[in-house]
Amino acid sequence: MAGFRALLLEKGEDGQQASRIAELSDADLMPGDVTVAVSHSTVNYKDGLALTGAAPVVRRWPMIPGIDFAGVVEESSNPLWKAGDKVILNGWGLGETHLGGYATRARVKGEWLVPLPDAFTPAEAMAIGTAGYTAMLCVLALEQHGILPDTRPVLVTGAAGGVGSVAISVLAKLGYRVIASTGRAEEKEYLTKLGADEVIPRAELTGEPRPMGKERWAGVVDSVGSKTLANALSMTKYGGCVAACGLAAGMDLPGSVAPFILRGVTLAGIDSVMAPRERRLVAWQRLARDLDSAKLDSMMTTIGLKDAAGLGPEILQGKVRGRVVVDVNA
């Protein structure tokens, strides 16, 4: 029986989790109608939570983490796919309830897969990964709420992180004026090269939120949550929209309804994990059109499978810049 290599997360009798590189057999794969030779995965914030056990992301043990993968179809009994097709998978419980992308092989439901756009190599698709695809979902939400390039500036919080880096690059290419908020002053040049017109310190958004502040931006892409989100809402202009996708600073929202009822501000919730297939296809088509590949390359670093576990604590501490690709064969 054919085998494959994976990063395996196991839980001991003491409840502690540990990871190791394991040689597994195809009999270990989970049910599905498409088998994929995985070439690349990536490290998102949620992967950091799974790798460290900081939050109960993993709900099946043992688990292969990795909420994303890119690869080539080996076998398919699903009419959507045939051997040789290049595919991507983001979310759908991968690395949570279904064996994930930190492996050289995966078996999944065909409906979870989307085609790899011609514009990207598998490594580039994983440099985008869930973080980048979520950034695009945020941009689509702003557009749907009428926040267009010719309106007023858009704030991106958690700017030097994965969602933030892709959001800035896409918004800049579309012609938006972008204000980037970061806790890392040393990343100003990086953010400016991605397309930020203005870089502001994270501290401007971490104070005690007021019900309403000075109107500063028409749209927001927020991956931080908590006081940052409450402050961003309070400074959103009349009729603006805030796309909230993340919780890097916390899950709470210590704010006021004032921006909603007095300024008509919309809070748009963004979920990538269970987003319908049609929406994913649109998001990936738009990424192919609206994300500059030179900028994508500038935000990407590549590691091997054995180094993925070490990135878990780093991404949770906000130390990772841009996006990390995992070459599962390295």
Torsion angle in degrees (nearest 10) through CA of 81, 87, 90, 95 = 90
Selected from 163, 171, 220, 230, the binder of ligand NDP by CB under 6 A is 163
What does each C-alpha distance from 187 to 165, 190, 319 come to in angstroms? 11, 5, 11
Closer residue to ligand NDP in complex, CB, 81/133: 133
Closer residue to ligand NDP in complex, CB, 93/239: 93
Q: Give the Cβ contact number of residue 199 at 10 Å.
A: 21
229 makes contact with ligand NDP (CB under 6 A):
no
CA 287, CA 118: separation in Å to the nearest integer? 11
Pick the stretch among 18-26, 152-160, 233-241, 280-288 that binds ligand NDP (CB under 6 A).
152-160
CA 63, CA 7: separation in Å to the nearest integer? 9
**Residue 316 three-state SS:** helix
Closer residue to ligand NDP in complex, CB, 19/223: 223
β-strands 34-43, 323-327: how paired?
A: antiparallel
Closer residue to ligand NDP in complex, CB, 76/182: 182
44 makes contact with ligand NDP (CB under 6 A):
yes
Selected from 35, 76, 130, 151, the binder of ligand NDP by CB under 6 A is 130
Per the document, the length of the chain is: 330
Selected from 71, 100, 161, 259, the binder of ligand NDP by CB under 6 A is 161
Least CB distance to ligand NDP at residue 115 (A): 21
113 makes contact with ligand NDP (CB under 6 A):
no
CA 53, CA 181: separation in Å to the nearest integer? 28
Closer residue to ligand NDP in complex, CB, 5/184: 184
Contact 266, 219 (CB under 8 A): no
Pick the stretch among 9-17, 115-123, 162-170, 210-218 that binds ligand NDP (CB under 6 A).
162-170
Which amino acid would we find at residue 39?
S
Closer residue to ligand NDP in complex, CB, 29/191: 191
Binding to ligand NDP (CB under 6 A) within 49-88 occurs at: none
Closer residue to ligand NDP in complex, CB, 40/46: 46
Match 């994300």 to its residue by tokens: 291
Q: What is the 3-state secondary structure (H, E, C) of 135-163?
A: HHHHHHHHHHCCCCCCCCCEEECCCCCHH
Selected from 95, 219, 240, 246, the binder of ligand NDP by CB under 6 A is 246
Closer residue to ligand NDP in complex, CB, 76/246: 246
Selected from 19, 228, 231, 266, the binder of ligand NDP by CB under 6 A is 228
Closest CA to 133 of 242, 320, 290: 290
Contacts of 319 (CB under 8 A, 6+ apart): none
Binding to ligand NDP (CB under 6 A) within 278-307 occurs at: none
Closer residue to ligand NDP in complex, CB, 171/224: 224
Selected from 34, 63, 94, 131, the binder of ligand NDP by CB under 6 A is 131
Roughly what angle, to the nearest 10 degrees, separates helices 122-144 and 277-290?
100
Give the distance, in angstroms, between the CA of residue 198 and the centroid of all CA atoms in the same chain.
23
Closest CA to 67 of 92, 85, 30, 103: 92
Selected from 11, 184, 188, 279, the binder of ligand NDP by CB under 6 A is 184
What is the contact surface with ligand NDP in residues (CB under 6 A)? 44-46, 130-131, 134, 158-164, 182-184, 202, 223-224, 228, 245-249, 270-273, 315, 318, 320
